[in-house]
């Protein structure tokens, strides 16, 4: 009788763990890592191409200790940020202008429609011609690629500002500049922020790619360099580092967004 009762509660506990928590997912990760360790060691996967997890981690720690990985990471982040900030300035300015002034959007409409679907990496050869392998080469491509999500979101955001907010501000004597600063931009900010989030991820991708194609510094270069030099554990450690950088930056962004955009979350939750 009691046994049955305990059995049921244990069963319920397992059920609730499976349903409510991501323990199973964590176990899957653990299992994959164990496979990553065991398969190369046992020779089932060719260990030269796919070294064991511990070997890769060893290379990562060594890279951090010697400072090489940190140096390359710093260079990549620096380039990504330069391009990202330029993209913010260009994207927000252009997006606001096209979103609020009719003739600007008429003028740029077709050019934007032609340029926007253009994959940024296709411009790599031009940038190499212009800038060689200097930082400007990476930054120009990053700027091009990151501008579009910010531009499009800013445009959408300024377009979707409720006309009644504008009317309200006009009644209280707001000038055109007041409207922009106090109504249009704050109201469009949730859109702009989601463009910024997309662009942040894009900037990491593009910095990696441009460094893989033509650079002598940075994480992307490090990956291609170790690949060509057949230092495979180091190559994997570089890939893991890029993943960590992407994850970390996104995490920071979400934290900042949660704090700055709290009003929007609450408002959306209320209006649904």
Partner 1 sequence: MPGPTLLRAEQLRRTYIRGESEIAACANITFSVNKGEFVCIVGPSGCGKTTMLKCMCHLLKPTAGKVFVNEKEIDRPPKEMILIFQDYSRSLFPWRTVLKNVLFVLEKKRLSRKERLDIARSALSAVYLSGFENHYPWELSGGMQQRVAIARGIAFNPDILLMDEPFASVDAQTRSDLEDAILEIWSKFSQTILLVTHDIEEAIYLADRVLVLSGRPSEIREEIQIDLERPRNQLTTKEDKRFIEYRHHIYTLIREEGQKCEIAGI
Partner 2 sequence: MKEFLSTKAKGICFLLFLAFLWEIVSRNKLISPLYFPPISKDLVAFYQLMLDGTLPLEVIRSLGRIFGGFFLAVVVMIPLGILMGLFKPIYNLFEPLTELLRPLPPPAIIPVVMLFLGIGEAMKILVIAFACSFPILINTMDGVRSVEPTLVDTAKTFGRNRYEVILQVILPASLHQIFTGWRVALPIALIVDIIAEMVGALNGIGRFILLMQRRFDIPEMYAGIFLVAIVGYALNALLRYLNRTLIGWHKAKFEAVI
Check residue 263 for interaction with partner 1 (CB under 8 A): yes
CB–CB of 85/110 below 8 Å? Answer: no
- H/E stretch holding 49: none
Tokens read off for 213: 């194609």
Question: What is the nearest approach in angstroms of partner 1 to the Cβ of residue 265?
Answer: 11
Which residue blocks in the chain are alpha helix, DSSP H? 2-20, 23-42, 53-66, 68-100, 102-115, 124-131, 135-159, 163-171, 176-178, 185-213, 219-228, 232-260, 262-271
Check residue 201 for interaction with partner 2 (CB under 8 A): yes
Check residue 190 for interaction with partner 2 (CB under 8 A): no
Tokens read off for 181: 């600063």
- Residue 58 C-alpha from the chain's centroid: 27
User: 116 or 255: whose CB is closer to partner 2?
Assistant: 116
Question: What is the nearest approach in angstroms of partner 2 to the Cβ of residue 203?
Answer: 10
Cα–Cα distance for residue pair 12/251, rounded to 1 Å: 34
Which part of the chain contacts partner 2 (CB under 8 A), choosing from 67-75, 115-123, 132-140, 183-191? 115-123
Helix (H, G, I), strand (E, B) or coil at 52: coil
User: Using alpha carbons only, how large is the chain's radius of gyration in Å?
Assistant: 25
> Mask of contacts with partner 2, 17-56, x by CB under 8 A?
-xx-xxxxxx-xx--x----------------xx------
Check residue 258 for interaction with partner 1 (CB under 8 A): no
Check residue 270 for interaction with partner 1 (CB under 8 A): yes
User: 83 or 195: whose CB is closer to partner 1?
Assistant: 195
DSSP 67-82: THHHHHHHHHHHHHHH
Binding site for partner 1 (CB under 8 A): 162, 164-165, 167-174, 178, 182-183, 186-187, 189, 263-264, 266-267, 270-271
Binding site for partner 2 (CB under 8 A): 18-19, 21-26, 28-29, 32, 49-50, 103, 106-111, 113-126, 128-130, 159, 201, 204-205, 208-209, 212-213, 220, 223-224, 227, 232, 235-236, 238-239, 242-243, 246-247, 250
């Amino acid at each position: 009788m009691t046994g049955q009762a305990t059995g049921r509660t244990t069963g319920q506990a397992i059920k609730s763990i499976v349903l409510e928590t991501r323990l199973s997912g964590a176990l899957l990760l653990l299992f994959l890592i164990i496979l990553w360790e065991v398969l190369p060691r046992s020779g089932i996967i060719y260990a030269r191409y796919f070294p064991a997890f511990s070997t890769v981690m060893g290379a990562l720690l060594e890279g951090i200790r010697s400072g090489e990985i940190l140096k390359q990471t710093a260079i990549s982040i620096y380039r990504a940020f330069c391009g990202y900030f330029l993209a913010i300035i260009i994207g927000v300015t252009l997006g606001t202008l096209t979103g609020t002034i009719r003739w600007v959007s008429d003028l740029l409409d077709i050019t934007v429609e032609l340029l926007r679907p253009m994959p940024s990496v296709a411009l790599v050869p031009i940038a190499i011609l212009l800038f060689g392998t200097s930082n400007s080469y990476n930054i120009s491509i990053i700027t091009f690629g990151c501008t579009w999500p910010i531009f499009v979101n800013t445009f959408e955001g300024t377009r979707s500002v409720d006309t009644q907010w504008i009317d309200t501000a006009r009644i209280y004597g707001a000038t055109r500049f007041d409207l922009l600063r106090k109504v249009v931009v704050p109201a469009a900010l949730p859109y702009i922020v989601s463009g910024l989030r997309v662009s942040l991820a894009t900037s990491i991708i593009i910095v990696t790619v441009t460094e893989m194609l033509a650079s002598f510094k940075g994480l992307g270069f490090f990956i291609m360099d170790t690949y060509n030099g057949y230092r495979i554990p180091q190559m994997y450690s570089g890939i893991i580092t890029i993943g960590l950088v992407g994850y970390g930056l996104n995490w920071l962004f979400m934290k900042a967004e949660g704090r700055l955009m709290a009003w929007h979350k609450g408002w959306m939750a209320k209006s649904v």
